[in-house]
Structure 1
Amino acid sequence: MGFLSLSTVFSLVSLALFVKIHFSLNVASDSTGEAHALLKWKASLQNHNTSLLPSWPLYPFNSTNNSAHHKTKTSLCLWFGISCNHAGSVIGVNLTSLSLRGTLDGFSFSLFP
Structure 2
Amino acid sequence: MAHMGYKNFREPVVYILDQELRKRNFKNKINTQEEQPYIGELPEYPCRLIRNETTKKVVKIIYAEGTELEWSETLIRNTEGRVYRVKTIYPNKSEKVIQLNKNGEQQVVSITYVEE
Answer with 1 or 2: which has the greater Rg: 1
Q: Which has more strand, going by share of residues?
A: 2
Question: Which structure carries more helix by proportion?
Answer: 1
Between the two structures, name the one with larger relative contact order (CA 8 Å, sep ≥ 6).
1
In which range does the TM-score fall when normalised by the shorter chain? under 0.3
